[in-house]
Amino acid sequence: MHILIIGSGGREHALAWKAAQSPRLTQLFVAPGNAGTASVAQNVAISADDNAALVAFAREKQIDLVIVGPEVPLANGVSDALRAAGVRVFGPSRAAAQLESSKTFSKAFMARHHIPTARYATFAEFGAARDFLRAADYPVVIKASGLAAGKGVIVPASLAEAEAALDRIMIAREFGAAGDEVVIEERLEGEEVSLIAFTDGITIKPMPPAQDHKRLLDDDRGPNTGGMGAYAPAPICPPALVAELTRAILQPTVDGLRAEGTPFVGALYAGLMLTRDGARVLEFNCRFGDPETQALMPLLDSDLIEIADACTTGRLDKVDVRWKRGAAVCIVIASGGYPGEYESGKEIHGLDAMSDDCVVFHAGTKMVNGKVVTAGGRVLGVSGWETDRETDMKADAIKRAIRKAYAGLGKIEFSGMQYRADIGKRAIVASK
Ligand code: AMP
Ligand code: GLY
């Protein structure tokens, strides 16, 4: 098969790395890719947001299957454009992608289908939103409704901070049109878990539950980031709970979208909080997680291309999706200054020295004069895993995966690099 992956981050490198192991593969392209994807696929200089050029390329190269990584092309209707040209796509239509691209859509959808989530109100007008805040007698979270690269959610510590957040979104319009509407939501408490599933629009096959580390610094301090690391499976979400969450959350979501005439094909990501009163959806994403995917792909035993292809043809029920035992951890290395301003163009050393059970997924990198240099905030993700069948103690597997990932990370060096030293630590505590 001729496969095209759209995107250029660590998630897309992990997907390309796994796809490259498939016996079904003839040719693998990544548009636009990065210095890492170039080692397992052919990079194509087309922006992930250029639907017309992507369609033309897919036709010219007779692409059999496209896998879409990021949310922005999905919200731009890249799946619809490709399908209209007769190309099979693993990734939802623009209509189904509203589950992520519009939080007002997503919240109303959950209410219609009785999917557990925080209580909320939506506003298109600043004055009404402010009056609501002043009257609310419970802690809130404020969210720009549209896509804001994970930055549009503000958890205020006081009424003053809440009003300032509303001002930033609705008056200063820090997130542009994403802030045309806001969702004001009840603030929940609990452990967070990312539950991502393959779906063909009918059948659901969940992946191992993962946990992301969103704050910049150890012990979950510092500003929010795109994600500084992840591990899977998350011991706080054992198999019986995954089954329950699939029944109570993922299945009604997929069934509801199909019933509304907008079936969801692709990776459905439920960002959940496990509260004292049960699991609640914090957000849906319409794609694989980043950096969760960098921890999940090393654990996938089955053929990614076979699964993705079956999703596009309504045959997911016929495919056995197997996962390796054990655990995997991904540690992100970011540029100095990230998530604020940072410099690019720093040469990266030590990339070739990895051992077995450890791989470096590139995110913000590029090749300049034969050298790999930094080209983004999040630069690399070092994934380590322990899938030895003899290692049946869960805490042991995750400890060994952590050790392998940090051993790999220790070989890498570039000026200003920063990373967290405690990725996966929570899993060890939880599995005791
Ligand atoms: P989201 O992008 O909607 O997942 O939100 C980003 C982060 O904000 C989440 O990972 C949570 O840590 C936090 N958050 C979002 N919604 C809530 C909520 N209702 N209660 C508490 N924290 C929340
Ligand atoms: N890891 C969070 C996300 O992919 O949105």
For 145-262, strand residue ranges (E) read: 153-154, 182-186, 191-199, 204-206, 211-212, 215-217, 221-224, 229-232
Instruction: Please count the structural domains in the chain.
Output: 3
Same domain for 199 and 165, yes or no, is no
68 and 11 share one domain: yes
Atom 5, ligand 2: which residue's CA is nearest? 289
Flag whether 186 is in a domain.
no
Instruction: Tell me the CATH number at 155.
Output: 3.30.1490.20
Q: Are residues 8 and 52 in the same domain?
A: yes
Q: Are the beta carbons of 413 and 380 closer than 8 angstroms?
A: no
CATH number, domain of 232, equals: 3.30.470.20
- Residue 148 belongs to what domain range? 125-180
Note whether 300 and 154 are same-domain residues: no
pLDDT digits (tens, 9 = 90+) for 87-125: 999 999 999 999 999 999 999 999 999 999 999 999 988
Find out whether 343 and 364 touch, Cβ atoms under 8 Å.
Answer: no
What pLDDT does 33 receive?
96
Domain C-terminal end among 180, 203, 220: 180
Question: Which residue CA neighbors atom 3 of ligand 1 most closely?
Answer: 283
Q: Within this chain, do residues 322 and 364 fall inside the same structural domain, yes or no? A: yes
319 lies in the same domain as 206 = yes
- 118 within domain boundaries: no
> Is 309 near ligand 2, meaning CB less than 6 Å away?
no
Residue 410: Cβ within 10 Å count: 11
pTM for the full model?
A: 0.94
pLDDT tens, 181-197? Answer: 899 999 999 999 999 99
Q: Is 69 in the pocket of ligand 2 (CB under 6 A)?
A: no
pLDDT of residue 432: 54
Decide whether any atom of ligand 2 lies within 6 Å of the 122 Cβ: no
How much distance in Å is there from the Cα of 154 to the middle of ligand 1?
Answer: 8
In the DSSP assignment, the letter for residue 38 is G
Burial class (CB in 10 A: 0-12, 13-18, 19+), 57: middle
Whether residue 202 sits in one domain with residue 60: no
In a domain, 247, yes or no: yes
Separation CA 201–CA 92 (nearest Å): 9
- Give a yes or no: residue 365 inside a domain: yes
| Of 135, 127, 172, 128, nearest in space to 154 by CA | 172
Among residues 75, 91, 107, the one where a domain terminates is 91
What token pair was written down for 165? 């957040």
Sign of CA dihedral 296, 300, 305, 309: negative
**Ligand 1: distance of its center to the CA of 282 in Å?**
6
Residue 38 in domain: yes
Which atom belonging to ligand 2 lies closest to the Cα atom of 291? 1
Q: Answer yes or no: do 209 and 176 share one domain.
A: no
Tell which of 45, 72, 91 closes a domain. 91
Question: Looking at the structure, do residues 233 and 146 belong to the same domain, yes or no?
Answer: no
3-state class of 29 per DSSP?
Answer: strand
Residue 275's pLDDT is what? 96
Report the separation in Å between the CA atom of 330 and the middle of ligand 1, taken as the mean of its atom positions: 21
- For residue 227, how far is its CA from the centre of ligand 2 (angstroms)? 7
215 and 357: one domain? yes
Q: How far apart are CA 29 and CA 58, in angstroms?
A: 10
Q: Classify residue 423: in a domain, yes or no.
A: yes
CATH number reported for the structural domain that contains residue 73 in this entry: 3.40.50.20
User: Do 212 and 324 reside in the same domain of the chain?
Assistant: yes
Listed as ranges, residues in the chain with pLDDT below 50 are none
Tell me, yes or no, whether 150 and 281 share the same domain.
no
Question: pLDDT tens, 303-346?
Answer: 999 999 999 999 999 999 999 999 999 999 999 999 999 999 99
Q: How many CB atoms lie within 10 A of CB 40?
A: 17
Establish whether residue 100 lines the binding site of ligand 2, counting it when its CB lies within 6 angstroms of any ligand atom. Answer: no
**Ligand 1 neighbour 148 (Cβ under 6 A):** no
